[in-house]
Chains A and B, each alone.
Chain A
Amino acid sequence: MNWPWSSKKEERRTGEERVPIIRMRGIRKVYEKGTVTVEALRGIDLDVDKGQFVAVVGPSGSGKSSLLNLIGCLDTPTEGRYELNGEPVGGLDRDGLAEIRNRRIGFVFQNFNLLPQLSALENVEMPMLFGGVSARQRRQRAQELLEKVGLGDRMTHKPAELSGGQMQRVAVARALAMDPDVILADEPTGNLDTSSGSDVLSLLGQLWEQGSTLVVVTHDMSMAERAPRIVEIRDGLIVHDTGRA
């Protein structure tokens, strides 16, 4: 069986030299809105290695969401160089970026962003649909993933029929669908009550223990403290990085 993710598993195991999954150099991001120019990122250098769990913290407006968008290839930097798993991302067109997002990035959003008209199963299948996985394999993998996040009995439910914590677990399953290089989570517990939040947190922790690379943007210090590495951003610059040697 030619699973699109199985080849990457191999690559992960055999990768002897330490190529960082994320390598950013001199990243600047400038937004222009009418006459107002906002410099959200003012020169970011950041390396994230395979299997790392990084929490990005900072006050609102500090540029952490901009950084996450750039890492997730939802946006392109105004200036600077970004390599994802050794490949430069700059210069790709929209479809090229879409392909990277599909195969290399798994997103978990604060407000889940599940498609309301689709069942949990179909939501998890979505990235695989875009990735060209066959219907049978999509279904099988989606079922496995939902079972993995503990929603084996909620597969046919629509998002509206699920609790917040369940929705976020569906979103985590969806993020895992294409076995991405990095899982990016933007305030994943922001819309959840404490107990669902800690469920999701332990799920993410579990993924990390199983070898996933996680970059999580959060206000939540209890979450940030779980991460072995904390990157703190202020005014578009990294002011503190516990992972830097």
Chain B
Amino acid sequence: MNRRPLVTWQLFVRTASLQRKRAVLTIAAITWGTVSILLLLAFGQGLKEQLMRGRRGMGENIAVIWPGNTSKVWQGLPTGRPVRLRMEDIDFLRARMPDVEIAGEMTDWSALVTWGTKTLNEPLVASNWQFGEIRNHFAQPGGRFLDALDEAQKRRVVFLGDHLAREIFGKVQPVGKRITINSLPYTVIGVMEHKMQMGSYGPPDENHAVVPITTFAAQMSRQYLNDLVIKVRRPGLMAGALERLRHVLAAKYRFDPADEQAISVWDTVKSSQTMDNLTLGIQLFLGLMGALTLFIGGIGVANIMYAVVKERTREIGVQMALGAKRGWITGPIVMQGLVYTLVGGATGMIISVVLVLLIGLIPTSGNQALEFLGKPQLSWPISVATAVILGMIGTAAGYFPARRAAEVDPAESLRYE
């Protein structure tokens, strides 16, 4: 009977037109629920992506290794011996771990940076040219990061964090300008492209200056490294690389490879997993809040449908007396619940998309809150999840009242005037 759905629809339309005001209110409730769930999830997604972007700001798949003091006796040697990493350890490690990118860092937390009459106290990092790639120091157009030649020839060149560059130069283009750092002249070769950075183990990258490690070591007569930064190709390789690094250094400096204090490690791969779990948790929480709002809308729909069933008990009884089977009674009611939910859901989706687009137009740079929150983002998984939740709520909102309608006793409902 292919005409059945059409007739069911006609019956629905006739019923629905009697309930216009209620229908509008219910649809509005569902719309509101949909907007809530979509916006919450979209903000969750935006936050997640912003956090990921911020994490990526420091560098992807990287780990930082600091030398420390031994805390376990080893091969007849006492505890408390300092482990000191040297310049040559960089090449020593590279030779033994060819798949891993390695850079050493020497730092001067408060270097005197002077341009003209302006002198500032700023952090200075000296590193290898690979540092730029590992730690995401990308140059703004017209500039560059340190390169192999700078390092080999101990050139006096400097790469400036974007905030630092603004502080020193204001609106003047810094590239090619000569500044002094700790009274020695350096040429600015590049300024860092602004980036979102959330993790750091020192001042944010936008505030520091970077010079070739060779230049710095020669000028300051330093040989010890503050730390090492390593980068692996894939997150899965990190644990193995750190294990290998520990063993290589332990053999060279004679400490127990299991000694956590001899060298300490910040493994961003591991901490990003923690972060992923956290953001997943946040998203689940937001999604749940939204789903609950939607659920309340669904209860509104069910409520209407129960009222419809109650008011129309007699008519349902008449239809039963005329020979309507269960499906004839339940069909229009289930359809009504579904239609309300889907109309409300579709409206909510449209409103959400418009809101997300409008919020996307607000400039984030300079606004700290927005910079941290990120922009809400609607994605397919979010939309599909919302649609599925809507469908389920709509079906349930129609099903339970329909079941009650099907249980109407025709004899009972016709007995009373």
Whether A134 contacts B3 by the Cβ 8 Å rule is yes
- Chain A, range 56-89, C-beta contacts under 8 Å to B: 65, 69, 72, 74-75
Q: Mark B323-350, 1 if CB is under 8 A from A, else 0.
A: 1111010000000000000000000000
Residues of A within 8 A of B323 (CB): 98-103, 127, 130-131, 178
Q: Which among B17, B322, B415 has the highest number of chain A CB atoms within 10 Å?
A: B322
Whether B321 contacts A74 by the Cβ 8 Å rule is yes
Is B320 part of the binding interface, using a Cβ–Cβ cutoff of 8 Å? yes
Q: Which among A130, A131, A178 has the highest number of chain B CB atoms within 10 Å?
A: A130
Whether A130 contacts B411 by the Cβ 8 Å rule is no
Whether B414 contacts A99 by the Cβ 8 Å rule is no
Whether B415 contacts A98 by the Cβ 8 Å rule is no
Whether A115 contacts B318 by the Cβ 8 Å rule is yes
Is B314 part of the binding interface, using a Cβ–Cβ cutoff of 8 Å? yes
Residues of B within 8 A of A72 (CB): 321
Whether A98 contacts B3 by the Cβ 8 Å rule is no
Query: Considering the chains assembled together, what is the distance between the CA atoms of A209 and B60 in angstroms?
Result: 95
Whether B322 contacts A130 by the Cβ 8 Å rule is yes
- Chain A, range 84-127, C-beta contacts under 8 Å to B: 94-95, 98-103, 107, 109, 111, 113, 115-118, 126-127
Whether B328 contacts A130 by the Cβ 8 Å rule is yes
Whether B325 contacts A95 by the Cβ 8 Å rule is yes
B interface: dominant SS: helix
Whether A113 contacts B7 by the Cβ 8 Å rule is no
Whether A107 contacts B322 by the Cβ 8 Å rule is yes
Q: Which among A100, A126, A129 has the highest number of chain B CB atoms within 10 Å?
A: A129
Q: Mark B389-417, 1 if CB is under 8 A from A, else 0.
A: 00000000000000000100111001101
Query: Considering the chains assembled together, what is the distance between the CA atoms of A130 and B410 in angstroms?
Result: 16
Whether A127 contacts B322 by the Cβ 8 Å rule is yes
Asked if A113 meets B414 with Cβ closer than 8 Å, knowing A98-B320, A130-B319, the reply is: yes
Whether A135 contacts B3 by the Cβ 8 Å rule is yes
> Distance (Å) between the CB of A5 and the closest chain B CB?
13
Query: Considering the chains assembled together, what is the distance between the CA atoms of A95 and B329 in angstroms?
Result: 11
Is B220 part of the binding interface, using a Cβ–Cβ cutoff of 8 Å? no
- Chain B, range 272-327, C-beta contacts under 8 Å to A: 314-315, 318-326
Residues of A within 8 A of B326 (CB): 94-95, 98
Residues of A within 8 A of B415 (CB): 65
Residues of A within 8 A of B15 (CB): 117
Query: Considering the chains assembled together, what is the distance between the CA atoms of A126 and B318 in angstroms?
Result: 10
Whether A111 contacts B417 by the Cβ 8 Å rule is yes
Is A50 part of the binding interface, using a Cβ–Cβ cutoff of 8 Å? no
Query: Considering the chains assembled together, what is the distance between the CA atoms of A71 and B410 in angstroms?
Result: 13
Residues of B within 8 A of A130 (CB): 319, 322-325, 328
> Distance (Å) between the CB of A154 and the closest chain B CB?
19
Is A132 part of the binding interface, using a Cβ–Cβ cutoff of 8 Å? yes
Is B14 part of the binding interface, using a Cβ–Cβ cutoff of 8 Å? yes
Residues of A within 8 A of B14 (CB): 117-118
Residues of A within 8 A of B406 (CB): 94
Q: Mark B341-361, 1 if CB is under 8 A from A, else 0.
A: 000000000000000000000
Residues of B within 8 A of A103 (CB): 323
Whether A101 contacts B321 by the Cβ 8 Å rule is yes
> Distance (Å) between the CB of A172 and the closest chain B CB?
13
Asked if A113 meets B318 with Cβ closer than 8 Å, knowing A65-B415, A74-B414, the reply is: yes
Residues of A within 8 A of B149 (CB): none
- Chain B, range 193-245, C-beta contacts under 8 Å to A: none
Query: Considering the chains assembled together, what is the distance between the CA atoms of A129 and B324 in angstroms?
Result: 9
Residue in B closest to A101 when the chains form the complex, CB atoms: B323
Residues of B within 8 A of A178 (CB): 323
Is B1 part of the binding interface, using a Cβ–Cβ cutoff of 8 Å? yes
Residue in B closest to A95 when the chains form the complex, CB atoms: B325
10 contacts between A and B (CB under 8 A): A75-B409, A94-B406, A102-B323, A117-B17, A126-B319, A126-B322, A130-B323, A130-B324, A130-B328, A134-B3
Interface of B toward A, CB cutoff 8 Å: 1, 3, 7, 14-15, 17-18, 314-315, 318-326, 328, 406, 409-411, 414-415, 417
Interface of A toward B, CB cutoff 8 Å: 65, 69, 72, 74-75, 94-95, 98-103, 107, 109, 111, 113, 115-118, 126-127, 129-132, 134-135, 174, 178
A-B contacts besides A115-B319, A127-B322, 7 pairs, CB < 8 Å: A102-B323, A107-B321, A109-B414, A117-B17, A127-B323, A129-B328, A134-B3
